[in-house]
């Protein structure tokens, strides 16, 4: 029996897809019922990285089992101070997610219809 494409896609923690195709991420602030909005992204991977950065900053976990990309997140949060305010966490997470989206977009452009575009000075 074939599974639908939607079921076969990997689901990332803290990430959901809007009806119009954008990916969003949010996380609960520890010891409260509040959610911290982490942003809207073009890719699920960018939203997942934003969630991971926020998770590390807010929870300071001892294990990496609740992260989407453990190795990449540890590298991205190496210089990030702990004990940050929710607003500072939101900014760090958003910056990380936007960096992933920007890298993805650059790759799409550079290998698009004209891979030699940048070499010809057009």
pLDDT-derived band at 18 (thresholds 50, 70, 90) equals very high
Cα(43)–Cα(23) distance, integer angstroms? 6
Q: Is the pLDDT of residue 7 over 50?
A: no
Q: What is the pLDDT of residues 26-64, one digit of tens each?
A: 999 988 999 999 999 999 999 999 999 999 888 877 777
Cα(24)–Cα(21) distance, integer angstroms? 10
> Average per-residue pLDDT in the chain?
79
- Token output for 112: 């698009």
Read off the pTM: 0.74
Cβ atoms of residues 45 and 104 within 8 Å: yes
Residue corresponding to tokens 């079921």? 7
């Amino acid at each position: 029996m074939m599974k639908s494409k939607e079921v076969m896609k990997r689901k990332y923690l803290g990430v959901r897809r809007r009806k119009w195709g954008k990916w969003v991420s949010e996380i609960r602030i520890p010891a409260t019922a509040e959610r911290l909005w982490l942003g809207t992204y073009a890719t699920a991977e960018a939203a997942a990285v934003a969630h991971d950065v926020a998770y590390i900053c807010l929870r300071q976990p001892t294990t990496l089992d609740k992260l989407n990309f453990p190795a990449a997140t540890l590298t991205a949060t190496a210089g990030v101070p702990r004990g940050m305010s929710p607003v500072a966490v939101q900014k760090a997470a958003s910056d990380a997610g936007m960096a992933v989206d920007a890298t993805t977009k650059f790759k799409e452009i550079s290998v698009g219809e004209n891979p030699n575009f940048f070499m010809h000075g057009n």
